[in-house]
């Protein structure tokens, strides 16, 4: 065998092992107390509970070719399950989990709805297609060896196994399976999902020190709690605010906005472009699909209410000293916009965020806020 072939064979083995790990990992999320998932235990992946009814054994196969009557996949799997070394009595369900689709003409398509007797008849029909020369050849093909071994099994054993077998075809490939597992990880920011998955896969791989190993319910969920503690969103962080500069066209298109009219009302025209920029940047941040959007929206509303409360106090105080309406109104505007943001938890928000919220509140008719003051 050439070095290239050896490398390709090793890669194929590694990818198959990784796929098996993902199947087992996905099953771990369904573990109940007292159950465990076994890897390379009588096959590829086993889920063992307190009794056979709670236990299943899964052969994981990744084939590109379709599952036909004479494909080795089913026959080889049945041979493994009929082996004296396989304790099928431990399991209530035996699953062939394969990426294959059924072949166009296969007689296996109705397998999962058939009785054990009907399944046996299907196997007999397929086997009867073999001519005597094929069956008695000095060097029969690999598939014929598998078929002969299955059909030579003692009938009670064969019927017992056939009754338990389920065919899971067109199974997800590794990439799709990873996405399915990632979808199970609630409460983890998108930026940390891959790290979480990597931690779980590493946990499974770390147990693989022997020909067979297991992961029980308690250990799996303890690992999940550890990863969640490490990778969940511990503190709220703001989306970036850079001080968006509104274009002339954007300023023009926002002239009818209530918050712009209130600035125009105090003849503070030079401030309009900055105000529109702050307002647009705030609105854009609320439209972004942030990992923590619900938290951001809730904190933003609460923070705006505090800003409005502070503004009303400042307005009331400034109103007491009004002599020149426009001058006092502009001073109130300048002081409010230049004012440092209130703290939010243990963080100081960007000033553009704070000012965007002020203009947003001015744009709300129900709040009845304004910059203009009268003597």
Are 195 and 298 in a shared domain? no
- Residue 313 makes CB contacts below 8 A (sequence gap 6+) with none
Residues across the chain? 375
Please indicate, yes or no, whether the overall pTM of this predicted structure exceeds 0.75.
no
Do the domain assignments include residue 140?
yes
Total of domains in the chain: 2
Do the domain assignments include residue 49?
yes
Residue at which a domain ends, from 171, 205, 231: 231
Give the model's confidence band at 208: pLDDT under 50 very low, under 70 low, under 90 confident, else very high: confident
Are 125 and 263 in a shared domain? no
pLDDT for the residue 167: 94
Are 139 and 16 in a shared domain? yes
Are 116 and 252 in a shared domain? no
pLDDT for the residue 3: 46
Q: Encode pLDDT of 284-317 as tens digits.
A: 988 875 555 677 788 899 999 999 999 999 999 9
Q: Which domain holds residue 318?
A: 248-367
pLDDT for the residue 15: 75
Closest CA to 362 of 250, 246, 247, 266: 266
Residue at which a domain ends, from 198, 231, 264: 231
Do the domain assignments include residue 210?
yes
DSSP labels, 109-169? TTGGGS-HHHHHHHHHHHHTTS-HHHHT-SS--HHHHHHHHHHTS-HHHHHHHHHHEEEE-
Q: Is 345 left (phi over 0), alpha (psi -120 to 50) or beta?
A: left
Are 159 and 253 in a shared domain? no
Residue at which a domain ends, from 178, 205, 231: 231
Are 52 and 180 in a shared domain? yes
Q: What distance separates the 2 farthest-apart alpha carbons in the chain?
A: 114
Are 92 and 137 in a shared domain? yes
Hey, what are 58's tokens? 């899964």
CB-count exposure of residue 88 (10 Å: 0-12, 13-18, 19+): middle
pLDDT for the residue 119: 97
Are 215 and 256 in a shared domain? no
Do the domain assignments include residue 373?
no
Do the domain assignments include residue 242?
no
Are 258 and 195 in a shared domain? no
Are 127 and 178 in a shared domain? yes
Give the model's confidence band at 241: pLDDT under 50 very low, under 70 low, under 90 confident, else very high: confident
pLDDT for the residue 42: 45
- Residue 242 makes CB contacts below 8 A (sequence gap 6+) with 281, 352
Please check the confidence at residue 2 and state whether its pLDDT lies above 60: no
Q: How far apart are alpha carbons 374 and 36 in whole angstroms?
A: 76
Q: Which residues of 251-277 are buried (b: 16+ CB within 10 A; e: fewer)?
A: beebeebebbebbeebebeebbbbbbb
Q: 3-state DSSP call for residue 33?
A: coil
* End-to-end Cα, the chain, rounded Å: 97
Are 258 and 159 in a shared domain? no
Do the domain assignments include residue 240?
no
């Amino acid at each position: 065998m050439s070095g290239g072939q050896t490398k390709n064979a090793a890669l194929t083995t590694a990818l198959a092992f990784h796929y098996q790990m993902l199947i087992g990992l996905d099953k771990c999320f369904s573990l109940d107390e007292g159950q465990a998932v076994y890897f390379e235990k009588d096959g590829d992946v086993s889920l063992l509970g307190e009794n056979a009814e709670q236990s299943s054994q899964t052969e994981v196969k990744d084939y590109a070719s379709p599952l036909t009557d004479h494909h080795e996949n089913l026959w080889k799997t049945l041979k493994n399950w009929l082996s004296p070394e396989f304790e099928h009595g431990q399991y209530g369900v035996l699953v062939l989990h394969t990426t294959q689709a059924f072949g166009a003409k296969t007689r296996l398509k109705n397998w999962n709805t058939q009785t054990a007797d009907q399944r046996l008849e299907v196997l007999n029909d397929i086997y009867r297609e073999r001519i005597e020369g094929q069956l008695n050849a000095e060097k029969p093909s690999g598939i014929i060896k598998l078929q002969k071994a299955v059909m030579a099994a003692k009938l009670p054993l064969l019927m017992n196994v056939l009754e338990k077998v389920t065919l899971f075809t067109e199974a997800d490939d590794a990439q799709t399976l990873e996405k399915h597992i990632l979808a199970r990880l609630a409460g983890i920011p998108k930026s940390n999902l891959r790290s979480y998955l990597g931690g779980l896969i590493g946990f499974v791989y770390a147990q693989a020190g022997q020909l067979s190993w297991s992961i029980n319910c308690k250990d799996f969920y303890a690992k999940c709690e550890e990863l969640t503690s490490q990778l969940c969103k511990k503190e709220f962080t703001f989306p970036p605010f850079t001080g968006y500069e509104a274009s002339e066209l954007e300023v023009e298109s926002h002239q009818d906005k209530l918050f712009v009219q209130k600035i125009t009302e105090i003849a503070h025209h030079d401030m309009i472009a900055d105000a529109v920029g702050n307002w647009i940047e705030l609105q854009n941040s609320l439209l972004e699909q942030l990992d923590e959007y619900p938290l951001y929206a809730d904190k933003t509303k609460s923070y705006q209410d505090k800003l409005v409360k502070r503004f009303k106090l400042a307005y009331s105080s400034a109103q007491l000293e009004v002599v020149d309406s426009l001058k006092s109104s502009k001073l109130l505007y300048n002081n409010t916009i230049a004012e440092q943001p209130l703290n939010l938890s243990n963080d100081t928000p960007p000033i553009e965020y704070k000012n965007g919220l002020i203009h947003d509140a001015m744009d709300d008719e129900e709040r009845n806020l304004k910059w203009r003051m009268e003597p």
